[in-house]
Structures are given as C-alpha cells and as structure tokens.
A and B are shown apart, each in its own frame.
Chain A
C-alpha cells in the first residue's frame, strides 16, 4: 500500500513569491493534517481536516496561508506571499479517522523542505 505522498520534496523560492504544496493521503483515510517543522523542533499542527471540512485551523496564519481539501482526498497548502521565516519542512499526515480519535495512528509523508531566499 502506498504511503502518504507529498510533492515537491524540495522548493526554493524568493521572498514574496507564492508557493504551493500537494499531499495525497493514504487511500481511505478520512483525516488529513498539515504540520510545519522548524529545524531542531517537533512538528506543529497547522490544520486538520475531517473529510473536506477543516475542523482545526486555529494555528494556520490565515493572512498568508491557505489550504483546501476538495472532495475530501488530496490537499493543497499555499503560502502567498512567502516570507523568510517560512523556511521549514511542511509535513502532511493522514489517519483513518476512527471513532475514539485518541488512538488514531497518523501516517506521515516525507515532507517538503521550503527555502525562502
């Protein structure tokens, strides 16, 4: 079974440019997460989807970040415009979304490493 797929793996852009990341979760997984990971730190949740609904986007900087999950399958995270401080790894994860979410296992993609010059 294929894991979580992310593209691109690496992206270098100049500040003020837009950038988009794509994620294809594991087939059948209802829940999708986007995380940001700065160097030397643990991942921080940006947004969580249950099917196509964003159920937790409290940590998403909405002035420049946006996300969508059309049809409740793959998802896109966009930054416009990018700033120097956005340089980080952007991780996507999915989980089956079982009842009793406390035991739901998340499966992570390899991430997209963004460098903003």
Chain B
C-alpha cells in the first residue's frame, strides 16, 4: 500500500495560516489525496481531497505538487477549534491508509 509521511506535530498561533505538509513519494496515478482530521474524543472527519489540481473548500485548501509526490493542507486562519490530528491519506478504490497523522496545536 502507498504510504504517507507527515510530521508528528506542529504548532500554530490563532488566526494565523497553517501549512501541514505530507510526502507521498510512492503515489500511483490513480491515487487521490484525502485529508481528514480527528478532534479529541471524536471520529475522523473529512476535510478535503484532490487528484492533481489545487482544491479549495470552506474548511481548507489543498496544494498538490506538480509531480504529486507531496501535498500541503492549508488552513487560512487557524482557530482553537482546529486543534486536532490531521491525516493525509492516499485513496484508491480498494485502499485507504491513515498513517499516524500530524497533531496540530493552536495557541491563543
């Protein structure tokens, strides 16, 4: 299965942008890049996904490198409610591997 590599933890100040990196050097042409986050004591929740082009939604933006071997989740203005573990996932039809994720701490 294709794997992703993320920093164990990151810290941000409230109301500042946050860039969460993910490396996926073994990505295949059909793998979509998904991001989920998990708030304390909750199940994971969907954030965003993309294939080749950058994507924006109300929660975040996803920047995908041209060679697709890395991507960055961008939170434009971090809030205390964004403190969570963020998972970068490669998804093909039959596989969905979470990895350990990045724990984001947001300081007031």
Task: Give me the interface of A with B, judged by CB distance under 8 Å.
Answer: 4, 40-45, 56, 91, 93, 100-103, 105-111
B98 touches A42 (CB 8 A): yes
Interface size class of B (residues with CB under 8 A): 20 to 34
Cα of A45 to Cα of B99 in the assembled complex, Å: 11
B43: CB under 8 A from chain A?
yes
Task: Give me the interface of B with A, judged by CB distance under 8 Å.
Answer: 30-32, 36, 41-46, 49, 85, 87, 91-94, 96, 98-101
Cα of A54 to Cα of B31 in the assembled complex, Å: 23
**A43 vs chain B, min Cβ distance (A):** 5
Which of A4, A43, A56, A105 meets B98, CB within 8 Å? A43
Which of A41, A44, A102, A111 meets B91, CB within 8 Å? A102
**A115 vs chain B, min Cβ distance (A):** 15
A4 touches B46 (CB 8 A): no
Residue contacts A-B, CB under 8 angstroms, 22 given: A4-B43, A40-B100, A41-B100, A42-B98, A42-B100, A43-B98, A56-B94, A91-B43, A91-B44, A101-B93, A101-B94, A102-B30, A103-B32, A103-B49, A103-B91, A105-B46, A106-B46, A106-B96, A107-B45, A108-B45, A110-B42, A111-B43
Which of B30, B44, B91, B94 meets A108, CB within 8 Å? B44
Q: Which B residue sits closest to A6, measured CB to CB?
A: B43
Chain B residues within an 8 Å CB radius of A109: 43
A102 touches B87 (CB 8 A): no
Chain A residues within an 8 Å CB radius of B85: 42
Cα of A50 to Cα of B44 in the assembled complex, Å: 21
The 6 A-B pairs with the shortest beta carbon distances in the complex, nearest first, are: A108-B43, A42-B98, A101-B93, A102-B32, A105-B46, A108-B44
Chain B residues within an 8 Å CB radius of A93: 43-44
Chain B residues within an 8 Å CB radius of A41: 100
Chain B residues within an 8 Å CB radius of A45: 96
Which of A42, A44, A106, A107 meets B101, CB within 8 Å? A42
